[in-house]
Structure 1
């Protein structure tokens, strides 16, 4: 695997002037002035590689912070904010200047800055064919949209910044609706570019299986668009996007682009993997997941029973994560399983209940449950769909947003293990964004 952690010095040109950069030779890549005026394809490739590497940064914090709020899991470690702030203990509010907010926010906008730099560099690039330029644009805009979507779902009604191309003149925070519009615009523009594009850069093995070409990457683009449309509750659009995605009701549900890891010098390991049985720094499964899982459901394998139940700060757990086998396990960005469940959800919302049952049966049978035998009723099917999303995507960064979409992100629906705890709907705007 190529060293995808080859981050060039340009990454210091991040949001809000996070750091400064001297224009000097960098052995891992060209200087900024050269990138902006006379970039060659190899120079542009470095920026693309940097984005793919940086997307993995703080993913564990993204997963565990949203998962804690949604009562998927607890983090039992030395940092009390994981069991105090995120659960609203004793009336606490979410901190607008701490790691669980700022780490994912900062890294997502670093990637966005990189993609803006790539788009800007294209304007003065040399020896780049029109097809290669279209490939760079398609890649950059797809990645930007994905990063915007991740942060919009965390901040929700607080909105996000979408105009950040000029770090000295940042655009305002925009509404949730306007942010979604920007995300769909980026994805649609990228999709058009990918139709006639060529990739000079080589994506990692995480995009093997056909996703490392413009044609295949375009199906990934449509998959992200379908996810965004589902989050935006634009279900008719979600079905339209799925038509050009890699959705396959008869195919392997595990297929899809992934974040990959290695022991190569300068690379990183899977940050969500936890050593079995350790007492500290452990992801503990919320007991409700063990209590509610159906007897035949093979997704129980995601949860490892502990030899001894554990507790911290008045919270308890009998199981820990077994989601990843090792530090080298890949992490899905999006997979066919999600597309099938998006198809089921959108079909329910659009009144095509038989289509929804067909899709739900694919997932049920893949996990040992057999065909659905319940009522062909909108509310019953929503419950079935949410059950399957709950267990298919445990600790993958969906549950908080799924519950909120259906008005279930509250103490009436969730199992609250400690008196006085709260359920938060969204993360605050980071402190330094208000300065």
Structure 2
């Protein structure tokens, strides 16, 4: 005890003497893996701009896992079976009357790819734009190029939360994260996104011609020129214009995109993956692996196939042993798994020529341009080896056919196409729930943290 008292006395004396060197005052620790925004906001070097571009590409793919698993479950393109956590079935399928609330499983602001991660990518794009604007170390043409690329990705990312909460609206003005703007309605948000994409296109035009002045990953191979990036921008704009029901705008955007009626249907920019320190393709599963956490083909997709469809053969792998998961309303049995990815480092496209051709068909059908609609439909049908279209050519019949072809051409892509398609045509009652006893969701509310933030701002 005496020794302990002496120790404390000595410590107090030492602390009193060392007033100019307080051992309890720590130096500021800077995170080398997450440098401050201020470090790149003034006179960023070309190397720093490059790091921000690579970081934006990484942020750009953050949504893939959550959207692929969740939105494709909502549209019953897949089941994401997970025996370890029943909420992937009970909550995401809406079993026993479950409906989305502000704290719904898997969609919070801490990591949900449907809400938080897109806004992180948008913030990354804003930082990149600011850094390029405030440096004298790159030429004006390069600044325009950076703005064009950043706004293209930014427009794409804004479309994710917009389609997630739909009629509840999203924040577009998020330049100041401590004072974000109000929620705006869905249609107004889409118009604002159109403006962002158009600005990006104009910036790429202003940059001139030739190659993009910074390195992009292999996901942009074939599109790493100003012309190629403009084509990607216009492809994204065509998808957006379909949601805006601007059918002539769809065709105008497609004419400047990489759409090619005679080209490879799989051509398009993608999200690359790789071994550590990168991450693996999150949608890859070994064929026939003994596993009970896996994406499986929804039974209705298998039920509704057309005989001889090559898409069925190439995309769906029949397992030797089905995956079975027990839920509140009985067993869910997955007989087929995803066969699209050759390895765990295969890139995942985020928009493809096949979608663009189907957008062309949809635009022509909505404009009652029958011959052009059927021509585009037949490109898809003939590629699938199911023969040319011979059905009725009324607008309603053509839309039915196009939505059917989109169901198999765009099956389970990281966008939730069928969930969105049925909603925009008022056909969500066509999504079957008989296989899982669930509910079809129209939209999600804002996460609770968003409302908490508004209350915090007001205090």
CA contact 2:93–2:436 (8 Å) conserved in 1: no
CA contact 1:361–1:370 (8 Å) conserved in 2: yes
Distance 1:113 1:225, change over 3 A: same
- The residue aligned with 1:94 is 100
Measure the CA separation in 1 of the matches of 2:135 and 2:178: 23
- Are 1:83 and 2:89 matched, yes or no? yes
Distance 1:420 1:258, change over 3 A: closer
Measure the CA separation in 1 of the matches of 2:35 and 2:340: 39
- The residue aligned with 1:156 is 166
- The residue aligned with 1:311 is 324
Aligned CA-pair RMSD: 1.7
Cα displacement string for residues 337-396 of structure 1 (whole angstroms, at most 9, x for unaligned residues): 110000000000011111011001111111111211222221221111111100011111
CA contact 1:72–1:394 (8 Å) conserved in 2: yes
- Report the 3-state secondary structure (helix = DSSP H, G, I; strand = E; otherwise coil) of the residue aligned with 1:283: strand
Distance 1:50 1:271, change over 3 A: same
- Report the 3-state secondary structure (helix = DSSP H, G, I; strand = E; otherwise coil) of the residue aligned with 1:310: strand
- The residue aligned with 2:7 is none
Measure the CA separation in 2 of the matches of 1:106 and 1:29: 18
Distance 1:428 1:274, change over 3 A: farther
Measure the CA separation in 2 of the matches of 1:123 and 1:317: 52
Measure the CA separation in 2 of the matches of 1:383 and 1:124: 51
- The residue aligned with 2:50 is 45
Measure the CA separation in 1 of the matches of 2:238 and 2:400: 21
How big is the shift at 1:311? 2.8
- Are 1:296 and 2:308 matched, yes or no? yes
Cα displacement string for residues 292-343 of structure 1 (whole angstroms, at most 9, x for unaligned residues): 1001101112111122333321223322221222211111111111100000
Tell me how many residue pairs correspond in the alignment. Answer: 409
Measure the CA separation in 2 of the matches of 1:339 and 1:243: 10
The one of 338, 343, 347 equivalent to 1:326 is: 343
- The residue aligned with 2:448 is 431
- The residue aligned with 1:403 is 422
- The residue aligned with 1:15 is none
Distance 1:279 1:56, change over 3 A: same
Measure the CA separation in 2 of the matches of 1:226 and 1:134: 22
- Are 1:216 and 2:233 matched, yes or no? no
CA contact 2:231–2:258 (8 Å) conserved in 1: yes
The one of 439, 450, 454 equivalent to 1:422 is: 439
Measure the CA separation in 2 of the matches of 1:306 and 1:37: 56
Cα displacement string for residues 125-160 of structure 1 (whole angstroms, at most 9, x for unaligned residues): 121211001001101111110000122111111111
- The residue aligned with 1:66 is 71
Measure the CA separation in 2 of the matches of 1:67 and 1:153: 13
- The residue aligned with 1:112 is 122
Q: Under a length normalisation based on structure 1, what TM-score does the superposition of the two structures give? A: 0.90
The one of 264, 269, 282 equivalent to 1:271 is: 282
Cα displacement string for residues 13-45 of structure 1 (whole angstroms, at most 9, x for unaligned residues): xxxxxxxxx78373x686532311121222112
- The residue aligned with 1:252 is 264
Gaps of 5+ in 1: 1-21
CA contact 2:292–2:323 (8 Å) conserved in 1: no
Cα displacement string for residues 218-257 of structure 1 (whole angstroms, at most 9, x for unaligned residues): 0100000000011222211111111111111111111110
Measure the CA separation in 1 of the matches of 2:190 and 2:168: 13
Measure the CA separation in 1 of the matches of 2:104 and 2:392: 46
CA contact 2:365–2:399 (8 Å) conserved in 1: yes
CA contact 1:337–1:363 (8 Å) conserved in 2: yes
Alignment of 1:1-400 (within 5 A): 24=30, 26=32, 31-77=36-82, 78-98=84-104, 100-102=106-108, 103-104=112-113, 105-197=115-207, 199-209=212-222, 211-263=223-275, 265-277=276-288, 278-301=290-313, 302-312=315-325, 313=327, 314=330, 315-396=332-413, 397=415, 398-400=417-419
Runs of 4+ in 1 over 6 A off after TM superposition: none
Cα displacement string for residues 54-104 of structure 1 (whole angstroms, at most 9, x for unaligned residues): 222241211111111111111111221111111111121224335532311
